[in-house]
Chains A and B, each alone.
Chain A
């Protein structure tokens, strides 16, 4: 059997028993990577570095100094993570040639856990997009159907995990960028509570919404990855000091007696019937497993996209100001003074979607418009958060579809930004409220495309989300299916 088809914890078992080595697992990923190169998952491959780290992991294991369940497991990272000594471009031309001078906190923690870093993964430029078609380099393609998008912005991450060219990865989720591509590629993706994982060393898109999270082949891997990266970081003042529980301890506890909230606003007319049927079936499945279904309401759901595109673009317009050609990355200097250097550098360095969002955000923050747009959006954001607070008074988790449709065709939405933005309609509210949410596969369309469902939880209650997801996964084989074999 091809090692690349194993989940990370299955690999860990084999590493532990000595059946395979980290070097072998790394080679398997590199081979799979070569075989699937056309999917555009990777922006940068560090084969030599990975082989060296794998050999070190094997040496640790030989000396019985292995670090834990992730030691020797080959992973890759979305190119938004700063990785010391490796290119870090955020899939933007403006950072072409930029080599990160330091490791971000999550990256450092994964290195300490012994993971092997294969390389950096494709994404929508600066995490702005829902299809990975806004990459400044190349689009990534869905391994289940290469004419379709893998979702975004963590598209490359989703492809690499789904195609087996790495065992697990981290994405970032600002409005659905982990969960939506996870759903479209049939993998598990978790956006933790805002503040659960440090944002230090992650290129900022929208600081009040961005959160780092695992993208994995199954729920157990997701729990192990979260365990490795969660916790307070003194370098991130917005990271929480809330204690990190053991996610694996409660993973197999099932859903007996759990109240599963079903928000009517997420089961709308016009949504894809196959998506609807799969999620309905999943809800039935939870009932059989001993959970109670509870109707809940999230009345401000309709405002989610509008609020999100004001808050996120406003913050982005400021966060992306540092890419000015002065200190690092691309500089285009026509030699006509400072202003032209700025205009040319940013004009040539940023792609059209990034420019569109910088303009939207700049507008929303401008004198005379600030109160009408930014301030108002923040007020509605509070209402959205309040909706969830009230809903979670009645239930322990909320289950919804992750996306309205399975993966769409490449090019299908690129001409219509609004239609593209609607791909996030079920995911953005969770970011606005700062809550944790996980997407896991809950079915396949007749044409063989994965369908995802979302499990949402209370703040810092990732443990309940994970065990709810695991209870479903145990009864079904959706996570075990592989796009490439």
Chain B
């Protein structure tokens, strides 16, 4: 093949998302992250002899929610299967999963890349249990390996995309959109560092303009947006180089090594496991009762794309602001809560974007000591002239530090704006007397000096004077 041939990648992603349930998929053990090894375990999730699985209903609801959010067909009847292989972290010697009758099929996810919207098809969503985790001593003589079963039987969904993705940037955008959607739906917390969300990528390349798919490699162990992009870029380059050099891509499973920033072969097609899937005899078919899917549909929260449309068309926010506010489900909920308290869309949007998010410095809004309604209340205090915008910023500092209600802060600090003419007038008189020169300029037509004078009065009043009222008084006194 010629050296200058241009290749086009064909990419499909398999996203594994941990469902946000309190307990495991087939037993009552906690799913909490970070517990000491083998403390969230029982005889069921350690595969003791004689145990049987009992399905967690909440996990089913979350899987249905994911299916609806991704516009899938949710099947009233699906089936559990056993995926058989030996590994120390797999206590039963098989994983309970879904195989040829998954709970959801045929959906889509819209993503945006470089300002362009595109649709990625969803092939299927199936439910399965996670495995435990092998822990190894450093490789020295007498080193041991251990198994931690805390993760064993934690509920997952695997979301398989169509091979619709054509670049690493699109793949990253897909992952971001998927994470955003799953978080909105309350299906998965999206915590990639803790392994709640991870993906495998199927990557192949073909000469640009051709139709036939090339041989694919499956890349495992990708757990950040950055790694999605890096791993796929590496793989595209590797496969393209291989073909340019006259070689052939072999179908294999490769492992992403984030340290080495490369992929390496894990097992070839010949070494691929025969998982000997067969229907799980310990669990009846998963049958959703009549009306269940519709009920879950009714409880479905507003999806990110719908929210974005509402913010721009109904609330009149700029696309830029709307995007910032809808990016994260919690920020959007925070904004909606603020808006529910006080209906000044523009001003609240400004406060959330320019003040709150800036102060957060990348932390989650969940970490704040106050909720969205506090910002609604704060803007309301400005709008009804209880405080000035400047004082409001001081109130925010207080909120960040100690939480509480803006009204209570204003009251306890004595920050209520002075609107009593009798109280402001002496200050105005004093400022005018001390600035005769400016008064002259004003009278000579340089009316913009009034801003300077207002500032002085505000300063003297320690910010508590109502600026509009100060303005009026100054004009009146200077005969404007």
Contact = CB atoms under 8 A, between A and B. Distances in A.
Interface of A: 81-82, 88, 90, 95, 98, 100-102, 104, 199-204, 206-208, 234-238, 314-315, 317-318, 320-324, 326-328, 338, 342, 362, 365-367, 370, 374
Given A200-B52, A322-B91, A327 B276 contact: no
Given A318-B278, A321-B93, A204 B54 contact: no
A95, A98, A204 interface centre (most CB from chain B within 10 Å): A204
A362 B276 contact: yes
B282 interface: yes
B95 to A, nearest CB: 11
B46 A237 contact: no
A170 B93 CA distance: 28
Contacts of A236: 52
A82 B88 contact: no
A461 to B, nearest CB: 21
A208 B281 CA distance: 5
B284 A318 contact: no
B47 A235 contact: no
Contacts of B54: 234-235, 237
Contacts of A88: 49
Contacts of B278: 314-315, 318, 365, 370, 374
Given A82-B49, A200-B52, A235-B54, A321 B94 contact: yes
Nearest to A201: B50
Interface string B32-54: 00000000000100111111111
A433 B281 CA distance: 14
A315 B278 CA distance: 9
Majority secondary structure of chain B interface residues (helix, strand, loop or mixed): loop
24 contacts: A82-B48, A98-B49, A100-B50, A199-B52, A204-B49, A207-B281, A235-B52, A237-B55, A237-B282, A237-B283, A238-B52, A238-B282, A238-B283, A238-B284, A315-B281, A318-B93, A318-B276, A321-B84, A322-B93, A327-B46, A327-B91, A328-B49, A365-B84, A374-B278
Interface string B280-320: 01111000000000000000000000000000000000000
A318 B84 CA distance: 7
Nearest to A363: B276
Contacts of A238: 52, 281-284
A199 B147 CA distance: 28
A326 B88 contact: yes
B86 interface: yes
Contact of A366 (B52, B276, B281, B283): B276
Contact of B93 (A95, A202, A314, A324): A324
Given A82-B50, A203-B50, A322-B49, A102 B92 contact: no
Contacts of B53: 237
A44 to B, nearest CB: 16
A406 B468 CA distance: 109
B276 A365 contact: yes
A101 B51 CA distance: 11
B211 interface: no
Given A203-B50, A204-B49, A317-B84, 11 more contacts: A88-B49, A95-B49, A98-B49, A100-B50, A200-B52, A237-B54, A315-B278, A318-B278, A321-B86, A327-B147, A365-B277
B114 interface: no
A414 B6 CA distance: 68
A374 B94 CA distance: 18
B274 A367 contact: yes
B282 A318 contact: no
Nearest to A365: B276
B276 A102 contact: no
Nearest to A195: B284
A396 to B, nearest CB: 28
B220 interface: no
A366 B48 contact: no
A328 B91 CA distance: 11
A207 B49 contact: no
Nearest to B27: A235
Interface in B110-161: 147
B65 interface: no
A27 to B, nearest CB: 31
B82 interface: yes
Contacts of A201: 50-51
Nearest to B272: A367
A81, A90, A101 interface centre (most CB from chain B within 10 Å): A101
A320 B49 CA distance: 9
Interface in B4-60: 43, 46-55
A318 B283 contact: no
A433 B49 CA distance: 26
Contact of B49 (A203, A206, A234, A237): A203
B284 A237 contact: yes
Nearest to A88: B49
Nearest to A329: B49
B147 A326 contact: yes
B94 A200 contact: no
Interface string B153-192: 0000000000000000000000000000000000000000
A455 B94 CA distance: 37
Given A318-B84, A318-B94, A321-B84, A200 B47 contact: no
Contacts of B93: 318, 320-322, 324
Nearest to A342: B86
A102 B84 CA distance: 26
A207 B82 CA distance: 12
A318 B278 CA distance: 9
Contacts of B91: 322, 326-327
Nearest to A361: B276
B47 A327 contact: yes
A168 B356 CA distance: 74
A168 to B, nearest CB: 21
Interface string B449-466: 000000000000000000
A318 B82 contact: yes
B281 A101 contact: no
A328 B52 contact: no
A201, A202, A237, A327 interface centre (most CB from chain B within 10 Å): A237
A316 to B, nearest CB: 11
A323 B47 CA distance: 9
Contacts of B49: 82, 88, 90, 95, 98, 100, 203-204, 322-323, 328
A100, A200, A321, A362 interface centre (most CB from chain B within 10 Å): A321
B50 A202 contact: yes
A259 B91 CA distance: 49
A57 B148 CA distance: 42
A168 B432 CA distance: 109
Contacts of B43: 101-102
